[in-house]
Structure 1
């Protein structure tokens, strides 16, 4: 089940947090509960993606995106993710999620998130997110204008550009042969 109460708690806790610039880092603290586990008694890989929402949405709130989404009647959707898992998170482990926007292109925002436990990065995700309306994807220049920001993006890190290039080579639809 989606952690609606945990998300509501995070949005409430950070409602008066200092606003962040679009590339600012939002840090949130969490606990791995029994219902987050897989059959090996560690954080389920799919649940990891769900828990990362608990960092991404308060980040969107703190940079001012949530207000713009509500005002414009837009939505935020994930258009891709790549995750690297490196350390186990076990029941009752506390961890923090660090979230930031690393840049954007004409269609997508690129959001980096890390889940940290005991000073080590347990996993790291790169998301491609899109703002949408009834017609489809809202160009990032339009989104930036609605946020009162300049549309120019800082250069994306090389590893993000490489991921974008690799995704462009990936066949779609998959497994057609």
Structure 2
């Protein structure tokens, strides 16, 4: 089940939090609840991706993206993700999500997120997202200008560029449809 109550909490909490520059880091605090765990007594890998939504919700609220989306009748979608799982998140563990826009290209915005338990990184995800309108993808430069950031994208780290390049070689649609 989608954590609707947690999303509402993030929207309410972050509506009152200090605003962030579009390239600043948002940190949010959470706990692994019993409904998050799998048969291995740890947070389910799919739930981790859903929990990352909470961090992006807080980030989008604090940088003003939610308001810009509403004002322009734009939508937000995820277009890809690369994830590393390195440490189990056990029931009732407290953790923090660190969310930050790494940069953008002509179509997509790249959001770097990580989950930390104390000083240890448990999971990191790099999301490729797009802002959409009735006419298709909205250029990220236009989105960031609407957020008050007229500058260019920060230089994307080499590993993100490599991921973009590698993903461009991936066949779409997949070659095996199972029929």
Q: TM-score, normalised by structure 1?
A: 0.96
* Structure 1 residue ranges without an equivalent (≥5): none
Following superposition, the deviation at residue 13 of structure 1 comes to 1.2
Contact kept? 1:28, 1:98, Cα under 8 Å: yes
Contact kept? 2:22, 2:149, Cα under 8 Å: no
Alpha-carbon distance between aligned partners in 2 of 1:23 and 1:30, rounded to the nearest angstrom? 22
Contact kept? 2:22, 2:144, Cα under 8 Å: no
**3-state DSSP class of the match of 1:106?**
coil
Corresponding residue number in structure 1 for 2:67: 67
Alpha-carbon distance between aligned partners in 1 of 2:175 and 2:155, rounded to the nearest angstrom? 34
Contact kept? 1:17, 1:62, Cα under 8 Å: yes
1:25-174 alignment, distance < 5 Å:
25-150=25-150, 152-174=152-174
Following superposition, the deviation at residue 151 of structure 1 comes to 5.0
**3-state DSSP class of the match of 1:14?**
helix
Following superposition, the deviation at residue 132 of structure 1 comes to 0.3
Q: Which moved more, 1:141-150 or 1:111-120?
A: 141-150
Alpha-carbon distance between aligned partners in 2 of 1:98 and 1:145, rounded to the nearest angstrom? 24
Alpha-carbon distance between aligned partners in 2 of 1:147 and 1:56, rounded to the nearest angstrom? 16
Contact kept? 2:29, 2:94, Cα under 8 Å: yes
> RMSD between aligned alpha carbons?
1.2
Alpha-carbon distance between aligned partners in 1 of 2:175 and 2:90, rounded to the nearest angstrom? 35
Q: TM-score, normalised by structure 2?
A: 0.95
**3-state DSSP class of the match of 2:43?**
coil
Following superposition, the deviation at residue 136 of structure 1 comes to 1.4
